[in-house]
Structure 1
Amino acid sequence: MHKDDAVMAVSSPRGAAWYVIQCRANQNFRAQENLENQGFTCFQPRLCVEKLRAGRRRRCHEPLFPGYLFIQLHEQGQSWHAIRSTRGVQKLVAFGDRPVAVPDSVVDSLKLNSENAANDGAPAIRPGDRLRIESGPFANLEAVFQRFAGEERVVVLMNMLHKQHALTLALKDVQKI
């Protein structure tokens, strides 16, 4: 038996352990789909990010660890050959010649945080939202979001001298209230 044909599992109350798989470039989702079609349990934590596409800000989900995913393997001696030959999979992450299990608590924590992020219905900044300016000459003052000015800047409306003024600020310098 070849040294990587059997995965050494760490004892777990459920008789299974989590391992990390390195995927081929930009094939996380393909690898996960193909492994799940073979009956493996996989987990790929995702992060909700805002991206500018076609001039509009959109929320999308991206892998928290691009190029990697978690796989749950049962019992000692489960064949690595089926995993290694799966489309999208490059290798099982190992130290030396031995794959090392990820503690269940780490994966459980990632799952919990991933679910909370998915259930977080907080919308992106929208016109009319109140913002607090965090830095610069107008620090700690409030303004109203008007629109995005590129990818890293926003236009806000601020009441000064009994009149609304439009200011362009760095996106990192404002916080939604």
Structure 2
Amino acid sequence: MSETAKWYVIHTYSGYENKVANNIETAVENQNLRDLIEEVCVPTEKVLELRDDGKEREVERKIFPGYVLVKMILTDDSWYVIRNIRGVTGFVGPGSKPVPLSEKEVAALGVEKIHVEVNYKEGDSVRVVSGPLEGFSGVVDAVDIERNIVTITVSMFGRDNQVELALNQVAAV
């Protein structure tokens, strides 16, 4: 089947996402399958919600209600364990064949944090190495490792412009 762990999408009953994720984690621990099923994720986002009384509160919402993401090596055992968890209706894919997410889809979902080590800091000169501004040079204003973003000031058309780029899009000069 597959030798490296890939991300798969599991369809669940709506509202059962966290319960399914916890049950998968429990089954993995009980059956000693940590080498097959590495990670379980229910993608969420924090949203400011305006209540009727005019107050704002921060709420955590599921990005994909009814779905759970699992990073696993697909074998008959791992498929069987996941498929037989209460609340799981099946894997996303044609028929009963699970289809892994592509690397592009995983990056877009942000489920796998990519740690980029940077060799620059605020005030350093950098060069843009990829993207639409490739070839431009600028000065680092801020580095946000958690969000994977660097803010730089680039001089274009005789004006200084602040732009946000991914950490791996710039390199120290």
TM-score when normalising by structure 2? 0.51
1:112 deviates by 6.2
Q: What is the deviation of 1:20? A: 0.4
Does the aligned pair in 2 maintain the 1:47–1:114 contact within 8 Å?
A: no
Q: 1:113 to 1:24 in 2, by over 3 A?
A: same
The number of equivalent residue pairs is 106
Q: 1:53 to 1:35 in 2, by over 3 A?
A: farther
Gaps of 5+ in 1: 1-7, 121-177
Percent of residue pairs bearing the same amino acid type: 28
- Letter of the aligned partner of 2:49 in structure 1? K
Kept in 2, the 8 Å contact 1:45–1:114? The answer is no
Equivalent residue in structure 1 for 2:42, among 13, 22, 44: 44
Q: Could you tell me whether the CA contact under 8 Å between 1:22 and 1:67 is conserved in 2?
A: yes
Specify which structure has the higher proportion of strand: 1
Secondary structure class of the residue paired with 2:21 = helix
Deviation of 1:75 (Å): 4.6
CA distance in 2, matches of 1:69, 1:26: 11
Secondary structure of the equivalent of 2:15? Answer: coil
Offset from partner CA, 1:74-106 (integer Å, 9 cap, x none): 154334222122123221112134211112342
Distance apart, 1:46 and its partner CA:
1.2
Question: Could you tell me how far 1:48 is from its partner in structure 2?
Answer: 1.6
Corresponding position: 1:34 with 2:33: no
What is aligned with 2:142?
none
Question: What whole-Å deviation, never above 9, does each CA across 1:21-75 have from its counterpart, x for those lacking one?
Answer: 0111211111111112222421222122122346221111111111111111215
Cα contact 1:46–1:114 (8 A) shared by 2: no
Q: Aligned equivalents of 2:111 and 2:85: distance in 1?
A: 28
- Alpha-carbon distance between aligned partners in 2 of 1:88 and 1:96, rounded to the nearest angstrom: 18
Decide whether aligned partners of structure 1 residues 89 and 47 sit closer, same or farther in structure 2, where only a CA change above 3 A counts. same
Distance 1:62 1:44, change over 3 A: same
1:47 maps to a residue whose letter is E
Spell out the pairing of 1:56-135 with structure 2 (5 A cutoff).
Answer: 56-111=55-110
- The one-letter code of the counterpart of 2:64 is F
The residue type paired with residue 111 of structure 1 is G
Structure 2: runs of 5+ lacking an equivalent: 29-36, 115-145, 148-173
- Pick closer, same or farther for the CA change 1:101–1:22 going to 2, 3 Å: same
In the other structure, the counterpart of 1:16 is 5
State the TM-score, normalized to the length of structure 1: 0.50
Distance 1:85 1:113, change over 3 A: closer
Judging changes above 3 Å, is the alpha-carbon distance between structure 1 residues 38 and 54 closer, same or farther for their aligned structure 2 residues?
A: farther
